[in-house]
Amino acid sequence: MLKHLLCCVALCVIAGTATAQSVQVSSYLTLSSLRSVRAVALDHTGRIWAATSGGVFVYTDQNTPVTEYRNIDAMLSLDATAIFFDPADSLIYVGGENGSLDIATANGKWTNITDISRASQYQRRTIRGFAKKGDTLFIASDLGVLLYNTKQQVFVETIDRIGRLQEKTAVNGIVILRDSIWVATDSGMAVAPLNVNTLRLPTVWSVYDTVSGLPTSKVSFITSAQSQLYVGCASQALVWTGSIFSSLVTTSQPVNGISISENQLYVSSSGGIVSVAQPIVISWSNELLGHSTIVKDGKVHFIGFIVGKGLEISNLDSLISVKINSPVSNQFARIALDNDGGLWVATDVEPPRAGEGVSYFDGTNWQNFNTSNTPQIQTRACYRVSAVADGSIWIGTWGKGAVQAKKVDGEIQFKLFNSQNSVLQGIAADPNYLLVADVAQDRQGNTWIVNEQSASVLAVKLNQDETSKSFPNCVDPGSTLFRSIAVDGAGNKWIGSVAGIGIVGFNERNVDISSDDVCNYIRTSNTQLPDNVINVLRIDKSGSLWIGTPKGVAVISAPSQLSNTTVPYVRRISLLSSAVVNDIYVDALNYKWVATSTGVFVLNEDGTQVLLSLSKSNAPLLDDNIRCIAVDDKTGLAYFGTSYGCTVARSSSIKPVADYNIEIHPQPFSPQLDNEVIINGLAADSDIRIMTTGGFLVTAFQTKGKQTTWDGTDTLGRTVPPGVYLIHATSATSGQSTIAKLMVRR
């Protein structure tokens, strides 16, 4: 996955302001979870297409990796809520949570229909089901029933008033039966004949609710077979007798799926699948989100939508688990990169506190760690991950302490720290309920842990021998609502509050002598801090402290000047004065990647220039509200985490090499065909001059990192003629220089 992203040629480059400094981003990829299946469809070749909260995947057999489709070069929306196979045209129709309609051919060529998703007059536009008769595709959606002509590829009618039901009543499912259309809604069942001039007339519809035998008015599922109509309602599956709904199956939990195979009705709930005729005994690995059934080789196969795992398929003799290589959740609440470039993801968001543990991605494969497979992780509410200098990752949990993840001989080992083996402290109401937020290390290798909302502890220092010492809030011992931390080169600890208290800066210096301790508050009342709510603190490569708040970014250029009487000067970054800042990452070139509620901004070293801005308007981001951000110094891969998954892009922010080792790709280079040539293997702060073999200067520019690009034009913007050109690079940092040759062709 990411290996392909690293080696592909730069495409779709989006650059910031054209200055000596620039950041280039290209070759996007989406990381999202395919483990929450909503619906499946079987195509004409027997492949299973699965609609999930993070895209669509196609399962062929155990020996074939699943094919994955997401928002780049495929779907409009990741969140697929309905899927349908049309045997007449061999097309797959996928409906999305936002009303997107995506149509795929068997070989994966996609067409996107935006009419529903752009219908902004409707607050809800989710597509929930399909049915087809002739050339008309009937679409069940939150805004009613829509009719789409598949031959003409146009919408022909919108039925947003169904009988006596309220206008724009959401439709949960749809069936065509005996020349009538049946729809399931939250207000009952409705039916209308298809031989009317228009279905928009309320009078053509008949509505059935609890008076007609339904246990509740909300009908969630509908299907039909052999001229029979079946519905799933509350904890029952019922059949329409022609005058009333009659109960066939009652489940112990709410029905989450119904299907018909071999004239047999099957009903699922979270606990499993049942039928009228016989019990269905299958040892699913987890609870069910729903199910489907297919007939293969003369036997009914049960497809279980497994919580957190995707699909499992059983013919009652064997159970197949479909291998899904994805994170367990689309919630990228916080991310961190370890020393090997591995991506760690915390999945818990406050609120709603519905985490799924932590996920780890090595660039090819995902591993998901939680209470079921990692005993050291004692809660799924993992809401912070922090990478520290010794290569370990610290996982902050809501209620169960801190977990250290460290690679030993290639294997990830976990260790839990709580009140039993450290001085971490629980909240005042429950000493066993430990909240651990961000973690940082000082230059001596000591680990500092923010003990959020503890009874009296602000932070805990964990020494290298794993002995620990607690530190209270030195300004206000009763105040512990803090979450972020950064440690500067002077050993000052900066701890920020998400509760509007500001920043505590302290230095314990000689731990045995309290008289030399340094302690002070940084607040809006005594500095130019934009807000007392602190979302992130970062130390950059020059030692400055960068502060992200809901009202913009600020920086303390000399944090070492902290004293008991003097507060360091806080400078606001005017370019982002109104931004809601969620996260900041300092890259290999000392640029600041700022994650905000309106996209990504990359600032130069001192924050006086915006080098790059990304949003959904100019990049395939999943959401403009970027929750977290990280950039791999070795590869330049930039990760933008959201509540809908993560977008990855290849950036030019790569740590320069110590000695020049220039590689050029492609070679030869065609400006017309290749757009850009990549010059890799540069030393720090390189001045690049491109010249003819006769010594004439073609163009010149500067770059800070390992890699840069050239578009094949001279200083006047003219495309250079074919021939051999010399690339002369000189490092302003080391004084080294080198020359490489480039062949330019038509």
pLDDT tens-digit series, residues 689-710: 999 999 899 999 988 888 898 9
| Mean pLDDT, range 62-76, rounded to an integer | 95
Instruction: Categorize the per-residue pLDDT at 75 as very low, low, confident or very high, splitting at 50, 70 and 90.
Output: very high
Percentage, residues of the chain above pLDDT 70: 96
Query: Above 60 in pLDDT, residue 11?
Result: no
Instruction: Categorize the per-residue pLDDT at 410 as very low, low, confident or very high, splitting at 50, 70 and 90.
Output: confident
Smallest CA-to-CA distance from 255 within 274, 283, 242 is with 274
Distance CA 501, CA 573 (A): 21
Backbone angles phi, psi at 320, to 5 degrees: -110, 130
Tell me the pLDDT tens digit for each residue of 616-654. Answer: 999 999 999 999 999 999 999 999 999 999 999 999 899
Query: Above 90 in pLDDT, residue 511?
Result: no
Q: What is the pLDDT of residue 15?
A: 34
Instruction: Categorize the per-residue pLDDT at 10 as very low, low, confident or very high, splitting at 50, 70 and 90.
Output: very low
Which residue would you say has higher pLDDT here, 735 or 235? 235
Instruction: Categorize the per-residue pLDDT at 153 as very low, low, confident or very high, splitting at 50, 70 and 90.
Output: very high
Q: What is the pLDDT of residue 5?
A: 62
Strand ranges in 627-731 using DSSP code E only, listed in sequence order: 628-631, 637-642, 645-651, 663-665, 677-680, 686-692, 697-703, 707-710, 723-731
Q: Which residues pair with 229 in a beta bridge?
A: 224
| Mean pLDDT, range 458-477, rounded to an integer | 95
Instruction: Categorize the per-residue pLDDT at 173 as very low, low, confident or very high, splitting at 50, 70 and 90.
Output: very high
Instruction: Categorize the per-residue pLDDT at 9 as very low, low, confident or very high, splitting at 50, 70 and 90.
Output: very low
Instruction: Identify the H or E element spanning 744.
Output: strand 737-744
* Sign of the torsion angle spanned by Cα atoms 527, 529, 535, 537: negative
Query: Above 90 in pLDDT, residue 157?
Result: yes
Tell me the pLDDT tens digit for each residue of 340-364. Answer: 999 999 999 887 778 999 999 999 9
Contacts of residue 194, defined as CB under 8 A and 6 or more positions apart, other chains included, come to: 133, 176, 179, 180, 181
Write down the H helix ranges in 240-332. Answer: none
**Which of 1-15, 471-485, 556-570 is predicted with the least confidence, judged by mean pLDDT?**
1-15
Q: What is the pLDDT of residue 116?
A: 94
Distance CA 64, CA 498 (A): 47
| Mean pLDDT, range 550-574, rounded to an integer | 94
Q: What is the pLDDT of residue 517?
A: 87
**Contact of 388 with 337, CB cutoff 8 Å:** no
| Mean pLDDT, range 92-106, rounded to an integer | 96
Percentage, residues of the chain above pLDDT 90: 86
- Count how many residues are written for the chain: 746
**Contact of 489 with 507, CB cutoff 8 Å:** no
**Contact of 574 with 568, CB cutoff 8 Å:** no
Cis peptide before 656 (omega within 30 of 0): no
Instruction: Categorize the per-residue pLDDT at 14 as very low, low, confident or very high, splitting at 50, 70 and 90.
Output: very low
Strand ranges in 518-659 using DSSP code E only, listed in sequence order: 518-522, 536-539, 545-549, 552-556, 571-572, 581-586, 592-596, 599-603, 610-614, 628-631, 637-642, 645-651
Distance CA 573, CA 595 (A): 14
Instruction: Categorize the per-residue pLDDT at 24 as very low, low, confident or very high, splitting at 50, 70 and 90.
Output: confident
Q: What is the pLDDT of residue 513?
A: 66
**Which residue is listed with tokens 């027997």?**
46
| Mean pLDDT, range 714-739, rounded to an integer | 92
Q: What is the pLDDT of residue 92?
A: 98
Backbone angles phi, psi at 575, to 5 degrees: -65, -25
Smallest CA-to-CA distance from 577 within 547, 613, 551 is with 551
Instruction: Categorize the per-residue pLDDT at 509 as very low, low, confident or very high, splitting at 50, 70 and 90.
Output: confident
What single letter denotes the amino acid at residue 363?
Answer: G
**Which residue is listed with tokens 């009659």?**
246
Q: To the nearest whole number, what is the mean pLDDT of the chain?
A: 93
Tell me the pLDDT tens digit for each residue of 285-297. Answer: 999 999 999 998 8
Query: Above 60 in pLDDT, residue 16?
Result: no
Backbone angles phi, psi at 204, to 5 degrees: -85, -5
Query: Above 80 in pLDDT, residue 557?
Result: yes
| Mean pLDDT, range 78-106, rounded to an integer | 96
**Contact of 456 with 467, CB cutoff 8 Å:** no
Contacts of residue 655, defined as CB under 8 A and 6 or more positions apart, other chains included, come to: 588, 589, 633, 634, 705, 706
Q: What is the pLDDT of residue 746?
A: 85
Query: Above 50 in pLDDT, residue 612?
Result: yes
Smallest CA-to-CA distance from 110 within 151, 67, 57, 69 is with 69
Q: Which residues pair with 57 in a beta bridge?
A: 50, 68
Q: Domains of the chain, with CATH numbers?
A: 1-16+23-32+581-652 (no CATH), 493-572 (no CATH), 656-744 (2.60.40.4070)
Burial of 199 (0-12, 13-18, 19+ CB in 10 A): buried
Q: Give the number of other Cβ atoms within 10 Å of residue 353's Cβ.
A: 13
Instruction: Categorize the per-residue pLDDT at 278 as very low, low, confident or very high, splitting at 50, 70 and 90.
Output: confident
Angle value at C-alpha 124, between 119 and 129, nearest 5 degrees: 95
**Contact of 141 with 170, CB cutoff 8 Å:** yes
685 conformational bin, left if phi > 0, alpha if psi -120 to 50, beta if neither: left
Beta strands across the sheet bearing 686-692: 697-703, 686-692, 723-731, 737-744
Q: What is the pLDDT of residue 3?
A: 54
